[in-house]
Amino acid sequence: MASTPPPRAVLFDVDGTLVDTNALHAVAWREAFRHFGHDFPLDLIRTQIGKGGDNLIPTLLPDLDEAAREEIDAWRGDLFKRDYLPSAVPFPGVRDLFERLVEDEIRIVLASSSSKAEVAFHLDLIAAEDLVAAFTSKDDVESSKPCPDIFEAALAKVAPIPPAEVLVVGDSPWDIKAARRAGLKAVGFLSGGFAAAELRAEGAIALYEGAAHLLADYDGSPFARHG
């Protein structure tokens, strides 16, 4: 890793990567499914967190028509913002990590499968609006992760920096898969609760517990400058 040039931009997933919300999302999805008469184990739903509703719902309910999927997704979105989003907290070290990246002239873009309103809420929560160059959300694209659309939209925000000089940071296999489909290398955070083996299987080039761990090991990370 030390011989690899550092990136000029980094695209961060948000939920489970920068803010501790994966468990909240899973519970909200279970409540939404139950409201519409579908009872899934929380552990099963948990494996799908990181996808947007357009991909999560068809995975669990493949025979549901589009109108029914959209109804569940909208109901779940309102529920999450009302009852669960206020409980979200940032992971330790996020702003400190962002400050180090900006110091090294690495541009930061947030790239999330959540709604624009949720991403804006989290950006305020991590108190790093002054350090983030831009953000994208599911509202900017047709398909959420694990489709590559969100990272492709985020890449446009850092143009003309080429994909070879951009890294993704995410916590779920869906982040790593989406990055790969967009032609990007990805670093995995274990903060979202997914197993290291799952992230490595999708192609994560390095793994850290979270932002604080990456910052502590920054000089040995893919972001470090050498020489």
Q: What is the full per-residue pLDDT of the chain (227 aa) written as tens digits?
A: 445 689 999 999 999 999 999 999 999 999 999 999 999 999 999 999 999 999 999 999 999 999 999 999 999 999 999 999 999 999 999 999 999 999 999 999 999 988 888 999 999 999 999 999 999 988 899 999 999 999 999 999 999 999 999 999 999 999 999 999 999 999 999 999 999 999 999 999 999 999 999 999 999 999 998 65
Q: Which CATH number fits domain 9-20+89-220: 3.40.50.1000, 3.40.1160.10, 3.40.640.10, 1.20.120.160?
A: 3.40.50.1000
Alpha carbons 18 and 170: distance in angstroms, whole number: 9
Q: What is the pTM of this model?
A: 0.95
CB 166 within 8 A of CB 8: yes
Alpha carbons 105 and 123: distance in angstroms, whole number: 20
Domain boundaries along the sequence of the chain: 9-20+89-220, 22-87
Q: Which of 22, 10, 11 is nearest to 190 (CA)?
A: 22
